[in-house]
Structure 1
Amino acid sequence: MPKRSHHGTQDLEQPSKRRRLAGARLDRLSDLSDELLLRILSFLSTGTLVLCRRVSTRLKAVATDSQLWKAAYYNRFVRPRALRLPGISDSAKHLLFSSKSSKWLDEEYLVRRGETLDWMKQYKLRHNWTRGSCAVSEISISDLPPAPPLLLRYHNGIVFTLDSSDGLRAWSSKERRELLATSVIEPHTKDDLPTSMAVDESNDPQFANQDIRISIGFHDGRFCIYSFQPDVRRFARMYEHARSSIGRLSAMTLRWPYLTTMSETRQLSIYKFAEVLGSSREYSQLAPPRLLSSLKSHTTSKPLSLSMKITHHAVVASIAYTLPTYFSGYSVGIQEVRLSLDGDIVESRLATADHGVFQPLHAHPQAVGESSTSPNGTNARDFGSFSTPTSLSYTHPYLLVAHPDNTLTLYLVTSSLEKLAISPGSRLWGHTSSVSGAHVGGRGRAVSVSCRGGEMRVWELEGGVSSLGNRKRLLNGELSIRVKTDRDLVQTNQNSLESTESDRGFGLGLSWADRVEDSSVTRGWVGFDDENVVVLKELAEGAQALVVYDFT
């Protein structure tokens, strides 16, 4: 019996089956030119672009085009920064993507690198910073802690370490992470030990094989200038200054040809070097420097930070320091010494933060997950602002102070020809244990580390915390992110109960990985560049290691 057709459908023409022709081309994209295909891909998200790379060889080549990722980098990282500037609206046409250096704020150096820069790699690097995702490795540098403590500086992927036993050493934080060079430091007397070190801040990071100047201060007041030659992996001593009656040099900063030192007796000295004597790199020597100025301070105390900047008309030496006060226990101050290019003092001025902004910690709401006690078991509200900061970092205009509890304080410094001022401090929350050290860079990026447990956080502090947008980010917990290493990501993906039971130690209630982290102590030193963060750690046995966090 034939099937009945549905009502009203018997007169409709049934669609005929299409026959696939042999050799028919279903790939419509292959007929498009690279320019048109590039235009289509420009409307896709970065995640889709990554997937397109797996389709074919041609799509992989087009999806990795430098112009695509350059525009993606600008729209995600540069344009939002420009929108935070006062008076800039989202509809401003001049904020649309362009290769003009003037639109890239202080990142125009990336545009100037031209075709040599891999923009996809640069996007991935910046993306990893925002997520706190990185790989971690260690460089063992000492089996026993040196006395006095190890001195460290980080510059252009090279970690410089200095101690009385192993001397001056250079370590690579890239690729192989190996010892590059070493130089023995011979003291004049038994107690003449190195006490401070600085790396030339005027070196351009774009030139990897450029010689790097290093200054070393000693207990007897003398200092030396060394040159590290990366291409031949060698140190060369260029100058040694005679011992001085001002005593031990506790801090210094070097921006060639100027050197600023601070002694234990609070004597600030500014020197200027002249020409290099000799034509050979190995045997070149410096002429004795000229002492431009020497000032005595009666208020500065540790921790402190020295810095210098050179303009077309003047040289400005700055010292940021902590200042004991009666009401709050401490405050922060900054002194600027402005000199002409000939070495004459133009002015010296001071500024301090208003101690009225320091409130006990119980005046601040405690965030979820934050520790309410200090590492010593002291209640945080009794331990707070009346204790001396653990570290201080100053890179104009950001002044960042780390506290013995789980907080930091950010200040903005205004320095112009008319005035020098420090804004009220903004308390930053996020760490779950004592903050042992922090360092802030010029674009407002900062890295802070806890004393125990290996917790490290990355902060984006550009513009300070006073703006409405940054206050919202702070309340939402978006102003900083905890760094997650490869091991953390693996442990997150594992079954928590199974991994805990299989790795648990005998009777300790802690996994083996947790016991390794808890047995290490962060010594408060942290350095970073655009690709890596380097932290000094000391294990329970006394061995010291450099922990390298790689964001590439």
Structure 2
Amino acid sequence: MAKRGREHEGSDIEHQAKRIKPLKVERLLSLSDELILRVLSYLPVPDLLVCQRLSHKYHGLAGDGQLWKAHYYNRFVRPRASKLPGLKDVGAPTGTLHFASRASKWLQDEHLVEKDARTNWKQQYKLRHNWSRGTCVAEEIQVADEAPVPPILVQLHNGVIYMADQVDGLRAWSAKADRRMLAQTNLPSSASRQPPTSLAIDSKEDDQDITRIAIGFESGSFSIYAFQHADGLLAHQYTQPSSSNGVISSISLAWPYAVTMTATQILSLYHFQDMAQEKNSNVQLAPPRLLHSLKSHTVWPPLSTSLRTSSTNLVISIAYALPTYLSGWTVGIQEVKIFLNGELDESRMASAIDEHYRPLAFSTRPMMHHLTRPVIGSLATSTATELRHIHSKPTSLSYTHPYLLVSQLDNTLTLYLVTSTSESLSISAGSRLWGHTSSVSGAHVGGRGKAVSVSRRGDELRVWELEGGFASAAARKRLATGDLSVQIRSDSRQSHIAEENSQAGLDLVNRNTSGATLDEKEDMAELTLTRGWIGFDEENVVVLKEQSQGKQALVIYDFT
């Protein structure tokens, strides 16, 4: 019993020792929430994330939207002023931009600070950080058991992936977390025997409830569909009869206008009866009025058409590969301006040929003073093969004003800047972009100069920041050092992710970016070819890939 007493006595002493705690004064607890927020506003992102782990109170305070809004502005908005000539001096005598809630100060991010916008600033910061690091999670969607001819057509718009092919018709998939098929409909019977050759989404976006889709066919006809977002329905609204003009190689839609380009280089502009007030997507449209039909003799694929409307006129832009006499290939662009009443205003053209351009057929080495002098004895020494690649036919072309991006056979891309004013149209000299280690099969450029490119084997994707071109010294330095792009990594190791997170202070934000599972990696290893199509929005990159057995799949790279 004595022994038990000693054990009991010892346990009481130990229990009392555990209850004794040193006296600590938490001075921040005596402050109001407003003062604590003021203190937290001086912390960098790594310390702010640590504060969120202290308690429930600090988790809410350190996650305050205004704190993350300021960090977002300082990291992703303000540095853009140095890339855009003239913007850094607007309203700031010191040459800097200060944090402001006015939408005009957010440089095309104004939709985040609009009056009715409900922006999760921490999530938005995480999203942009993942883009800057190329960190994402990949997921595969099987879309075809056999390779259709021609391949499946794909477009990504506002979080919805639209696909069209002869077998499964028109489909709409969600690019969000659920990754489910939203709607499906067959192609019209009159065009079912002819495969679709081009796909376009309405770029005007006046109606947020309905998205209109245009599909061009091999027979020269095209169809208009409407996707009702609330009901998840795809409705057929109109099909143009077949034409003898040839295959529709490109189509653009800015409601109520549609533009088609055929393989025989015929450009046609149609005007539909404006039914903007009609919310019923099942309403059949009346046949459109053909406003103009123009014939070209210089437009060659790859090409890109776009249609922009304003209060006074509409502008049709065609960017294309341009053959030159004994000189290989370059790029050109044509703009056709038309008044809203249908009257033709003007048509003008421009090409990227400058005074330094020389034919490759000369017996001696062409004079190219605009190219960097080769270093003797290094890999930079120019050869006949390299010179042919410089002026070879582009493998892909993407144009979103003012950026014109083409890919070449020598694993590089070339960026051109298009200048369009009321008096003139011009294309700048091309700037070569290095980064890919294999052949580039496709590239897509967005309005802010963000671009994504993919290799033919689909194993290398790169994100490019091309905003502002290369007119400034800082931009030329980034071009020379190769800091313009970052490779997308969807299966990074945990150790590498931890290193990236520690550098940027997002070890808690990017918790779920370990990539695909082992089974998913084995399946993705079979994806050996890309058909050249790649698209992206604010959250995802979507690539169409083909397996060795002929199966086709969409791979979605999620940056959220």
Separation of aligned partners in 2, 1:182 and 1:108: 35
Matches within 5 A, 1:2-17: none
**Structure 1 position 190, deviation (Å):** 7.4
Per the alignment, residue 8 of structure 1 pairs with none
Q: Structure 2 matches for 1:97-176, cutoff 5 A? A: 97-112=99-114, 114=116, 116-176=118-178
Q: Tell me, yes or no, if structure 1 residue 45 matches structure 2 residue 44.
A: yes
Q: Secondary structure, in 3 states, of the residue corresponding to 1:197? A: strand
Change (3 A) 1:278 1:203: closer
Distance in structure 1 (CA, Å) of the matches to 2:477 and 2:211: 42
Matched residue SS, 1:324: strand
Counterpart position of 1:11: none
Structure 2 CA distance, aligned partners of 1:120 and 1:204?
Answer: 29
1:527 maps to 535
In the aligned structure 2, how far is the partner of 1:515 from the partner of 1:341?
51
Kindly indicate whether residue 459 of structure 2 is the aligned counterpart of residue 460 of structure 1: no
Mapped contact 1:380–1:405 kept (Cα < 8 A): no
Relative to structure 1, is the Cα distance of residues 191 and 514 closer, same or farther in structure 2, using a 3 angstrom cutoff? Answer: closer
Residue 492 (structure 2) pairs with residue 488 (structure 1): yes
Q: Could you say what secondary structure the match of 1:525 adopts?
A: strand
Matched, 1:249 2:251: no
Q: 1:111 to 1:151 in 2, by over 3 A?
A: same
The aligned residue for residue 328 of structure 1 is 327
Alpha-carbon shift at residue 245 of structure 1 (Å)? 2.5
Name the stretch that deviates more: 28-37 or 189-198. 189-198
Q: Is the contact made by 1:446 and 1:461 (CA closer than 8 Å) also made in structure 2? A: yes
Mind listing any 5+ residue stretches in structure 2 that lack a counterpart? 1-19, 361-365, 499-519
Q: Which amino acid aligns with 1:489?
A: R
What amino acid is the match of 2:256? P
Note if 1:388 corresponds to 2:375. Answer: no
Q: Which residue of 1 aligns with 2:9?
A: none
> Which residue of the partner structure matches residue 57 of structure 2?
58
How many Å apart are 1:405 and its aligned residue? 2.0
Question: What number of residue pairs does the alignment pair up?
Answer: 505
- When residues 380 and 67 of structure 1 are mapped into structure 2, their CA distance, relative to the original with a 3 A threshold, is farther
- Structure 1 match to 2:442: 437
Look up the SS of the partner of 2:324 in the other structure: coil
Aligned to 2:34: 35
Contact 1:196 1:216 in 2 (8 A): yes
Q: Which residue of 2 aligns with 1:423?
A: 428
Given candidates 546, 553, 559, the residue that maps to 1:545 is: 553
The answer for unaligned runs of 5 or more in structure 1 is 1-20, 373-377, 495-511
Alignment deviations for residues 287-323 of structure 1 (CA, whole Å, 9 cap, x no partner): 2222221110000000000001112211001000001
Secondary structure of 1:109's aligned partner: helix
Letter in structure 2 aligned against 1:546? L
Q: Which residue matches 2:451?
A: 446
Deviation (angstroms), 1:475: 2.0
C-alpha distance in 1, partners of 2:276/2:93? Answer: 58
Q: Which has the higher contact order (CA 8 A, sep 6+)?
A: 2
Query: The residue matched to 1:130 in structure 2 has which SS?
Result: helix
Residue 339 of structure 2 aligns with which residue?
340
Considering only aligned residues, what root-mean-square deviation do their CA atoms show, in Å? Answer: 3.0
Note if contact 2:458-2:545 (Cα within 8 Å) is conserved in structure 1.
no
Distance 2:395 2:69 in 1: 40
Deviation at 1:440, TM superposition (A): 0.2
Aligned partners of 1:113 and 1:279: how far apart in 2? 27
- The residue that corresponds to 1:18 in the other structure is none
Relative to 1, partners in 2 of residues 1:33 and 1:114: Cα closer, same or farther, differing over 3 Å? farther
SS at structure 1 position matched to 2:493: helix
Hey, what's the Cα distance between the residues in 1 that align with 2:197 and 2:340?
29
Are the aligned partners of 2:191 and 2:217 in contact in 1 as well (CA < 8 Å)?
no
Q: Please state how far the C-alpha of 1:468 moved relative to its aligned partner.
A: 1.0
**Paired amino acid for 1:99:** S
Q: 1:198 to 1:516 in 2, by over 3 A?
A: closer
Q: CA separation in 2, counterparts of 1:390 and 1:258? A: 29
Asked if 1:401 corresponds to 2:418, the answer is no
> CA separation of 1:314/1:79 partners in 2, compared to 1, >3 Å: closer, same or farther?
same
Aligned-pair CA distance for 1:380: 5.7
Which residue identity is paired with 1:298?
A: H
SS at match of 2:335: strand
Identity of aligned residues (%): 51
Cα offset, 1:385, TM superposition = 2.4
Over 3 Å counting, the alpha-carbon distance change for 1:464 and 1:94 in structure 2 is closer
Alignment of 1:135-284 (within 5 A): 135-188=137-190, 191-203=193-205, 207=208, 210-276=209-275, 281=280, 283-284=282-283
Please give the secondary structure, in 2, of the residue aligned with 1:474. helix
Q: Structure 1: how far apart are the matches of 2:280 and 2:527?
A: 45
Per-residue deviation at 1:244?
Answer: 2.1
Other-structure match for 2:16: none
CA-CA distance at 1:519 after TM superposition: 5.2
Q: CA deviation at 1:140?
A: 0.6
Q: Per the alignment, in what secondary structure is the counterpart of residue 384 of structure 1?
A: helix
Cα distance in 2 between the residues matched to 1:305 and 1:404: 19
Work out whether residues 111 and 117 of structure 2, in 8 Å CA contact, stay in contact via their aligned partners in 1. no
Paired position in structure 2 for 1:500: none
- CA–CA separation in structure 2 for the residues paired with 1:323 and 1:478: 30
Q: Distance in 1 between the 2:418 and 2:264 partners?
A: 26
Displacement after TM superposition at 1:371 (Å): 10
Residue 541 (structure 1) shift: 1.1
Q: Classify the secondary structure of the residue corresponding to 1:541.
A: coil
Change (3 A) 1:382 1:83: closer
8 Å contact from structure 1 (residues 371, 433) kept in 2: no
Q: Name whichever of 82-91 and 170-179 sits farther off.
A: 82-91
Distance in 2 (CA, whole Å) between partners of 1:263 and 1:318 is 15
Tell me if the contact between 1:276 and 1:285 (Cα under 8 Å) persists in the aligned partners: no
- Per-residue deviation, 1:92: 2.8
How far the C-alpha of 1:278 sits from its partner, in A, is 11
Offset from partner CA, 1:228-255 (integer Å, 9 cap, x none): 1122221111112222232221110001
